[in-house]
């Protein structure tokens, strides 16, 4: 039971960060530049890879898809923790995928983000690892 709760906690942190990021991406001004001229410039300039889009539209799209990835990760692992915990905790593949994703987000957070999402992902990763450890100590993989 403790392993399930820890995994659900990890998932809920990621889910909350994803939902919040999605809201900030499409509503409000939290992900807009402090200097409005930067946004205007981004709207006028395209990347080297294509002239079909502007840097601003790509910025919004990347932020939206990033949010959706966090939401998907949180929903899938949260659902598995609650409804199919034995399958989740017995699957080294699923556990490795979740660990890789959270670890990757943590590295990105350290290198490119700011403290709040970095701390949130760190807490999610700690809870995730603790859930695996607890599942192995109590019940041999069957929480």
Q: What tens digit of pLDDT does each residue of 26-67 get? A: 998 999 999 999 999 999 999 999 999 999 999 999 999 999
Residue 46 CA to chain centroid, in angstroms?
27
Is residue 13 scored above 60 in pLDDT?
Answer: yes
Nearest to 128 by CA among 14, 6, 15: 6
In angstroms, the CA 107 to CA 95 distance is 18
10 Å CB burial of residue 69 (0-12, 13-18, 19+) is: middle
pLDDT in tens, 81-130: 999 999 999 999 999 999 999 999 999 999 999 999 999 999 999 999 99
């Amino acid at each position: 039971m403790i392993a399930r709760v820890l995994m659900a906690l990890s998932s809920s942190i990621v889910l909350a960060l994803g939902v919040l990021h999605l809201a900030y991406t499409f509503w409000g001004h939290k992900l807009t530049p402090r200097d409005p001229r930067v946004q205007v410039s981004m709207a006028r300039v395209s990347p080297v890879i294509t002239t079909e889009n502007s840097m601003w539209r790509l910025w919004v799209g990347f932020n939206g898809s990033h949010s959706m990835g966090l939401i998907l990760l949180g929903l899938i692992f949260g659902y598995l923790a609650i409804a199919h915990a034995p399958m989740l905790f017995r699957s080294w593949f699923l556990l490795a995928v979740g660990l890789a994703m959270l670890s990757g987000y943590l590295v990105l957070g350290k290198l490119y983000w700011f403290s709040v999402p970095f701390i949130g992902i760190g807490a999610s990763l700690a809870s995730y690892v603790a859930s695996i450890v607890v599942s192995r100590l109590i019940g041999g993989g069957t929480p």
